[in-house]
Amino acid sequence: MRKSRYQRNSPALIRAWAFYDWANSVYSLSIATAVFPLYYAQATAAANDGLVTLLGRTYTNDALYSYTVSLSFLAVALAAPLLAPLADQRRNKLAFMQFFCYLGSISCCLLYFFNGANVGWGLLFFGMASFGFASSLVYYNAFLKEIADERHHDRISSLGFSLGYAGSVLLLILNLVMVMQPAWFGIRDAAHASRISFVTVGLWWMLFAQIPFYALRRFERSRSSRPLASGLLAGGYRRLRHVLGEMKHHPELRQYLIAFFLFNAGVQTIMYLASLFGAEVIFHNDPNGTAKLIACVLIIQLVAIGGAQLFWRVSARHGNAKALSASLLIWMLISVLAYIITTEYEFYVVAVLVGLVMGGTQALARSTYAKLLPTRSDSASFFSFFDATEKLATVTGTALFGLVAELTGSMRHVAWLLLLLFALGWLLLWPLQRATALQPEANVG
């Protein structure tokens, strides 16, 4: 029998795995970052001066949006510890990854029916898309330790993020042209073009995901499956507690997770809510504000492609801890600038800085955790802990964003909260530069 080309460490398997970033990152860019937040802001601002009533309570539209992000990621944080051990036990992480991919992509398509008046349905579909996206990444990330040796993790993780930025930029350019020139496509107006773009995101995500699904299916076939153990659903949280208990024996891993929780709360808040910040604070009275903000997001993505590779090279020469620490210093600068900027050109400068560190921070955060993990078979359980930490950080950051914006009436004040999160993360991360697992790799050519 001929040996499959999708073996551990094989270039074909690695490229196919990384291609899921190409598939799903269009959600991250168009739905979570660019088109949908701006469409939502415009659709809800027209009614009652941006105030939205839902379930008997009135919110500002930006606060309600941030609370929806928080709720969807809280659901992931609660579900992942239950579902990841189940996938580990059955050795069918791919089936779970596929289910959540389809849940997210179909929910993106359903956003077509959100018109501003049906805010509840719109936010429900957005929340489901967010839940599907984040849940599928639990299993996607867990495959990293299985498909390649540790020495390749930084490069592979950076490859995935670079593919994600490249693919999402291509679709966002198409969506931007649709929004700015709807008549070219026979679309009646920019709002309708935005709704059609949500469908293109769902289809792109679903169809391109078939590439990694095919390769990972072939990879999983080479391993035997185990029967479902009795009481496994109830035991999922027990296994999570067991992982938490093992953290006591790995102080460097524990310290890294605390640092990761803090700085990731800041990173995710900026990623999910920067467009709303720009729309409300910088481009509030600009009739071309939407197009400028989408162009700004494109700048971030293009710079991030190089940024991910840059920080991989920095980590290879100086170690993960130093590379991540350097990125956090730039995030602190971004937080200060967010409070003081007033013009669109200053906003563009901040966008370039965000793009420079966004990809590198995310890629290194994932591979650093993989390097610090103890060698064991239930990688999905350990990565579910990582993903739960990531999601709880997102919940914390976005919920605090909404709370501060609602209490103060200004999103600018959130900048000081972000500065604090990045500074605390930096203080905890810096001592880890001495960790053996995080030492520099061989020289990079």
Q: Which residues, 6 or more positions from 16, have their beta carbon under 8 angstroms from its beta carbon? A: 6, 211, 212, 214, 215, 216
pLDDT of res. 230: 45
Q: Whole-angstrom Cα distance, residue 387 to residue 389?
A: 5
DSSP 8-state symbol, 443: P
Q: Whole-angstrom Cα distance, residue 119 to residue 116?
A: 6
Q: What DSSP line would sit under 324-360, residue for residue?
A: HHHHHHHHHHHHHHHHH--SHHHHHHHHHHHHHHHHH
Q: Which of 387, 293, 294, 277 is nearest to 334 (CA)?
A: 277
pLDDT of res. 228: 45
| 260: Cα separation from own chain's centroid | 14
Q: Hey, how many other C-beta atoms are within 10 angstroms of the C-beta on 150?
A: 14
pLDDT of res. 232: 47
pLDDT of res. 157: 75
DSSP 8-state symbol, 439: S
**Judging by beta carbons within 10 Å of its beta carbon (0-12, 13-18, 19+), is residue 284 exposed, middle or buried?**
exposed
Is there a domain that residue 443 lies in? no
pLDDT of res. 319: 81
Q: Could you tell me if 244 and 389 are in contact, meaning their C-beta atoms sit under 8 angstroms apart? A: no
Q: Strand, coil or helix: what is 108?
A: helix
Q: Could you tell me if 23 and 208 are in contact, meaning their C-beta atoms sit under 8 angstroms apart? A: yes
Q: Could you tell me if 103 and 128 are in contact, meaning their C-beta atoms sit under 8 angstroms apart? A: yes
Is there a domain that residue 7 lies in? no
pLDDT mean for each 10 residues of the chain (445 residues): 68 88 90 85 70 74 84 82 64 85 96 86 92 87 79 76 82 88 89 92 96 88 53 58 76 88 92 81 75 81 79 82 90 93 88 87 81 66 75 88 80 88 92 70 47
Is there a domain that residue 379 lies in? yes
Q: Strand, coil or helix: what is 265?
A: helix
How far CA 127 is from CA of 67, 109, 383, in Å, comes to 10, 13, 22
Give the end-to-end CA distance of the chain in Å, rounded to a whole number.
39
pLDDT of res. 444: 41
pLDDT of res. 29: 83
**Judging by beta carbons within 10 Å of its beta carbon (0-12, 13-18, 19+), is residue 376 exposed, middle or buried?**
exposed
Q: Hey, how many other C-beta atoms are within 10 angstroms of the C-beta on 309?
A: 18
Is there a domain that residue 284 lies in? yes
pLDDT of res. 202: 96
Q: What DSSP line would sit under 275-317, residue for residue?
A: HHHIIIIISTT-TTHHHHHHHHHHHHHHHHHHHHHHHHHHHHH
CATH number at residue 418: 1.20.1250.20
Is there a domain that residue 385 lies in? yes
Domain with 26 in it: 17-222+233-438
Is there a domain that residue 12 lies in? no
DSSP 8-state symbol, 230: T
Residue with tokens 């390749």: 152
Q: Could you tell me if 301 and 29 are in contact, meaning their C-beta atoms sit under 8 angstroms apart? A: yes
Q: Whole-angstrom Cα distance, residue 93 to residue 387?
A: 15
Is there a domain that residue 3 lies in? no
Q: Strand, coil or helix: what is 404?
A: helix
Is there a domain that residue 4 lies in? no
Q: Whole-angstrom Cα distance, residue 223 to residue 206?
A: 26
Residue with tokens 């077509």: 112
Q: Which of 70, 378, 392, 373 is nearest to 240 (CA)?
A: 378
Q: Could you tell me if 266 and 330 are in contact, meaning their C-beta atoms sit under 8 angstroms apart? A: no
> How many structural domains does the chain have?
1
| 179: Cα separation from own chain's centroid | 24
Q: Whole-angstrom Cα distance, residue 380 to residue 258?
A: 19
Q: Whole-angstrom Cα distance, residue 48 to residue 262?
A: 36
